[in-house]
Amino acid sequence: MAITVVGSVAYDSIETPSGKRDRCLGGAATHFSLAASFFTDVRVIAVVGEDFGPRQEAVFSKRNIDTRGIERAPGKSFFWSGSYLDNLNEAKTHQTDLNVFAGFDPKIPAAYADSRFLFLANIDPVLQRRVREAMPGVKLVAGDTMNYWINDHKPALLEVLKGLDILLINDTEARTLAGENNLVRAARAIQAMGPETLVIKHGEYGASLFHKVDGRESFFKVPGLPLHEVVDPTGAGDSFAGGFFGYLAAQEKQTPAAYRRAMFYGSVMGSLAVERFGTERIANLDRAEIDTRFNLFRELTHLD
Amino acid sequence: MAITVVGSVAYDSIETPSGKRDRCLGGAATHFSLAASFFTDVRVIAVVGEDFGPRQEAVFSKRNIDTRGIERAPGKSFFWSGSYLDNLNEAKTHQTDLNVFAGFDPKIPAAYADSRFLFLANIDPVLQRRVREAMPGVKLVAGDTMNYWINDHKPALLEVLKGLDILLINDTEARTLAGENNLVRAARAIQAMGPETLVIKHGEYGASLFHKVDGRESFFKVPGLPLHEVVDPTGAGDSFAGGFFGYLAAQEKQTPAAYRRAMFYGSVMGSLAVERFGTERIANLDRAEIDTRFNLFRELTHLD
């Protein structure tokens, strides 16, 4: 069933030990939608500037992603530049220009209203909440956030958390949000804030699922894939979210077994995304590559 | 089949957020043997001082560990004190007194000569090599080391690596030893130094197995168990090694499937060890607890 995602569609300038790219298509909503589009229909809500042209539009339309909710505004698109020269696990931000994103007021096209799945990518929690409230009919809501909102906009973020079924964040963010160093206790504290299900991402070490099965606490883990070269980590987390939530949305029932497979598909899409710069890998992916990678993850983790 | 292990038998004073212990039984050979003793016969080579009495001896004998190779020397046993108050993943060393260990010259009892498995715990690589050369009939040799030997005694360590089938080290050590930040490339570089099989431990994130199956590169991962409380991480790595190598030694053939299970048993023993101070958990363990924990690891990782 269709997912609506709200988030950024942007341009990124990226430098890593493998090279650099200037102004390549990026943004959380972009990476999320591309990854999710291999599993289900995706509809995007975002704002772009006059620099967003047919070439960028084509990246979405090639994957049958609905872009009617991408508003065109006068000015330039959101722009980010950063590097990962010392540490592939953490970007060093050089520049962030909000541009048209500064005045973003998400509008939900009528055609999106029947979406049963909603993904609130990492944007201002005030906007996340506005979109959540405008779509009361959704069945499952997942969201992402980052340290900036946790540290400086916590009250607004806590309001968003109350309306989430699933929160995806990384280790450091989980520890900061919960004010607790032990990850199991941090997860419990965050679950008490709203999201019954928590996916904590560990960068190259994979991700952990904390949820409840038949009323009792349950865990599941998926490792990171050992890669000879991480070309560009930008968008890995959003691609994980796209694989994870895309797979879940495609299932008739979101059973515990579906959640476990969703974790695998998340790690599959994240591991593929980092093999090229920006959207280069996922935008040109073939479904069979996903299945091959899924089998690799199975071999990597299963005893028999 | 029996394992001979050479390493330290020591006293540790430990402080963690969960409490403190003064002069509890510790040392790499102690933690290794206790964990391995649940899978196969274990024989220890070490040196202790006059402070090693019947109460310490009983910890080994209760687990049927052969202590005929533990030499009694005049003076005090090796002593270490450290804390994990800020970071449970890394000890802060307060004091290290080599004591009788300073003059350690490993002697191999005749009764140990038919051991087919040898574990060289983390000690001076000169001693590791001496023991390795004194036991030419062994079938499989595994070893451990630490940053101190990698940084300051590299030539001696490189000689040891040539005689190892399996090396167990942590992320940072692997990166330092290989001079390479990417773990897959670091693993390849270390494999070229001697050990065909490499187990890289990631602390709370589990461990990775890099080996060769039918001549091609193969990977396997085992996660760390999400724990509500890590009481004392001291000896977790040695307990992992004991579970891993103990299980392998107990198998008629060391097949790829046996290596995968060995990784699970390693993580099982490591996760149990940290639940109490020092040897308290493993020394009083019951075999059924190992099986229960093994099943938990299976649930944590397997799709079905």
DSSP readout, B46-65? EEE-TT--HHHHHHHHHTT-
Residues of A in contact with B208 (CB under 8 A): 223, 226
Task: List pLDDT tens digits, range A26-54.
Answer: 999 999 999 999 999 999 999 999 999 99
B173-195 residue pLDDT tens: 999 999 999 999 999 999 999 99
Q: What is the pTM of this model?
A: 0.95
What average pLDDT score do residues B35-52 get? 98
The pLDDT score that the predictor gives to residue B239 is 98
Contact A202 B205 (CB under 8 A): yes
Instruction: Provide the pLDDT confidence category of residue A89 given band limits of 50, 70 and 90.
Output: confident
Alpha-carbon gap, residue B168 to B207, rounded angstroms? 10
Q: How large is the average pLDDT for residues B10-21?
A: 96
What pLDDT score does A120 carry? 98
Contact call for B226 and A185, based on CB within 8 A: no
Among B180, B219, B221, most A C-beta atoms within 10 A, so best to mutate, is: B221
d(CA B212, CA B215): 6
Residue A217 has pLDDT above 90, yes or no: no
Average pLDDT over residues B52-66: 97
- Residues counted in chain A: 304
Residue predicted with more confidence, B218 or A160 = A160
Give B72-105 pLDDT, tens digit per residue: 999 999 999 999 998 888 899 999 999 999 999 9
Nearest CA to A13 out of A84, A90, A67 is that of A84
Number of inter-chain CB pairs under 8 A, A vs B:
74
- Residue of B205, B260, B263 to mutate when probing chain A, most A C-beta within 10 A: B205
Least confident window among A78-92, B159-173, B237-251: A78-92
Q: Which residues of B111-137 are buried (b: 16+ CB within 10 A; e: fewer)?
A: ebeebebbbbbbbbbebbbbbbeebee
Residue B304 has which token pair?
């079905």
Residue B91: Cβ within 10 Å count:
18
On whether the CB atoms of residues A164 and A195 are closer than 8 A, the answer is yes
Contact status, residue B179 vs residue B159, Cβ threshold 8 Å: no
The secondary structure element, H or E, covering residue B6 is: strand B3-6
- In this predicted structure, what is the pLDDT of residue B97? 96
Return the minimum-mean-pLDDT range out of A48-62, B80-94, B259-273. Answer: B80-94
The pLDDT tens digits of the residues spanning B134-156 come to 999 999 999 999 999 999 999 99
Question: By CA distance, what is B301's nearest residue in A?
Answer: A221
Segment B255-260 mean pLDDT: 96
The DSSP secondary structure of A5-59, one letter per residue, reads EE---EEEEEEETTEEEEEEEE-HHHHHHHHHTTTS-EEEEEEE-TT--HHHHHH
- φ, ψ dihedrals at B106, nearest 5°: -55, 130
Percent of chain A with pLDDT over 70: 100
Question: Is B303 touching A (CB cutoff 8 A)?
Answer: yes
Chain B touched by A148 (CB under 8 Å): no
Contact A301 B230 (CB under 8 A): no
Q: What's residue A214's pLDDT?
A: 83
| B219 near A CB under 8 A | yes
State yes or no: pLDDT of B200 exceeds 90.
yes
Helix (H) or strand (E) holding A94: strand A92-97
The 8-class DSSP code of residue A263 comes to H
**Cβ–Cβ < 8 Å for A79, A96:** yes
What's the sign of the alpha-carbon dihedral B119, B122, B127, B133? positive
Residue A88 has pLDDT above 90, yes or no: no
Compare CB distances from B184 to A181, A202, A228 and report the shortest one's residue.
Answer: A228
User: B264: which chain A residues are within 8 Å (Cβ-Cβ)?
Assistant: 303
> How confident is the model at residue B89, as a pLDDT?
82
Q: Touching check for B107 and chain A: CB below 8 Å?
A: no
Among chain B residues, CA nearest to A183 = B226
Identify whether the C-beta of residue B272 lies closer than 8 Å to the C-beta of residue B293. yes
| 8 Å CB contact of A227 and B184 | yes
Nearest to A303 among B204, B223, B264 (CB): B264
Residue A86 confidence class, pLDDT cut points 50, 70, 90: confident
pLDDT at residue B129 in the model:
97
Residues A137-165: tens digit of each pLDDT:
999 999 999 999 999 999 999 999 999 99
pLDDT at A87 over 90: no
Q: Give the count of beta carbons closer than 10 Å to the beta carbon of residue B63.
A: 18
Contacts of B301 in chain A (CB under 8 A): 220-221, 301-302
A90 pLDDT band, cuts 50/70/90, is confident
Q: State the Cα angle at A68 between A62 and A72, rounded to 5°.
A: 105
Interface of B with A in 221-250 (CB under 8 A): 221, 223, 226-230
Determine the Cα–Cα distance for residues B53 and B7; give it in Å rounded to an integer.
Answer: 18
User: Looking at residue A213, what is its pLDDT?
Assistant: 84
ipTM: 0.93
Chain B hits for A220, Cβ within 8 Å: 299-301
Read off the pLDDT of each residue in A83-110 and give the average, rounded to a whole number.
93
Q: How far is CA B74 from CA B7, B51, B59, B176, in A?
A: 18, 9, 21, 37
Confidence label for A212 from pLDDT (cuts 50, 70 and 90): confident
**Binding-face residues of A in 192-211 toward B, CB within 8 A:** 202, 204-206, 208, 210
Q: Give dist(CA A56, CA A76) in Å, integer.
A: 14
